[in-house]
Amino acid sequence: MSINTLSLANYGPVIPVIVIQRLEDAVPLAQALVAGGVRVLEVTLRTPVALQAMEAMARAVPEAIVGAGTLRSVADVKAARDAGCQFGVSPGYTDAIGAACHELDLPLLPGVSTASEVMQANAAGYNFLKLFPAVAVGGINLLKALGGPFPDVAFCPTGGITLETAPQFLKLANVKVCGGSWLTPQDAIDSGDWARITRLAAEAAAIPRG
């Protein structure tokens, strides 16, 4: 299934940024998030089991829309596609990654942190972008400033956002969804506290937008 990345925002206000350390945690974690009303899942390519985790989630939890985060190379793009991911997310943007995603029909949410990077991604046809690391590079003030010269660009700010600050970002006209790691705290995953993760997902899914 091919997904336009902007349509990911239709499924809820927050996309969890997930780090999987143990393969056996992948499916119950995905099930817990979906049970809380969060269907779009970004699994980062930061651990040795990440690709296997994505494949397991996509196979065992069909309600989940599984994407690969931390795409840094063409090889990452190919591996994510082979694992059954439905979209990709990169911390920055290169034309090589953009071209590979186009070629393999993997919808991409590319990362940017400056106006020049926004222009580079725009030139390649991308108008829905991940602002990363959002809080560190200026957060709400930067997003407001970018809204002037780029009224046709929408953002998914990620990095440093919390349950408490997400509503402030989501009030901005150019923010469609936020990325957040607070939905999947490592201690909850390590202890198998899936009920806690379902509660965190439900809280995130209920954040008002606009």
Asked if pLDDT for residue 210 goes beyond 60, the answer is yes
DSSP secondary structure letter of residue 158? B
Neighbours of 39 (CB within 10 A): 20
- Residue in this structure with the two tokens 């003030």, named with its chain if needed: 141
Q: Are 13 and 44 in contact (CB under 8 A)?
A: no
Q: Are 112 and 130 in contact (CB under 8 A)?
A: yes
Asked if pLDDT for residue 5 goes beyond 80, the answer is yes
- What span, in angstroms and rounded, lies between the C-alpha atoms of 204 and 113? 24
Q: Are 11 and 156 in contact (CB under 8 A)?
A: no
CA 183 remoteness from chain centre: 12
Query: What is the average per-residue pLDDT within 86-107?
Result: 96
pLDDT tens for each residue of 14-47: 999 999 999 999 999 999 999 999 999 999 999 9
- What span, in angstroms and rounded, lies between the C-alpha atoms of 38 and 207? 12
pLDDT tens for each residue of 143-152: 999 999 999 9
CA dihedral over 76, 3, 10, 56, signed as positive or negative: negative
CA 127 remoteness from chain centre: 15
Structure tokens at 130: 């991940």
User: Exposure pattern of 162-174 as b/e (b: 16+ CB <10 Å)?
Assistant: eeebbeebbebeb
- What span, in angstroms and rounded, lies between the C-alpha atoms of 113 and 199? 31
Q: What angle do CA 150, 155, 160 make, to 5 degrees?
A: 130
End-to-end CA distance of the chain: 29
Known catalytic residues? 42, 130
Residue 36, pLDDT score = 98
Query: What is the average per-residue pLDDT within 113-121?
Result: 97
Could you tell me which of 155, 150, 198, 201 has the C-alpha nearest to residue 178? Answer: 155
Asked if pLDDT for residue 1 goes beyond 80, the answer is no
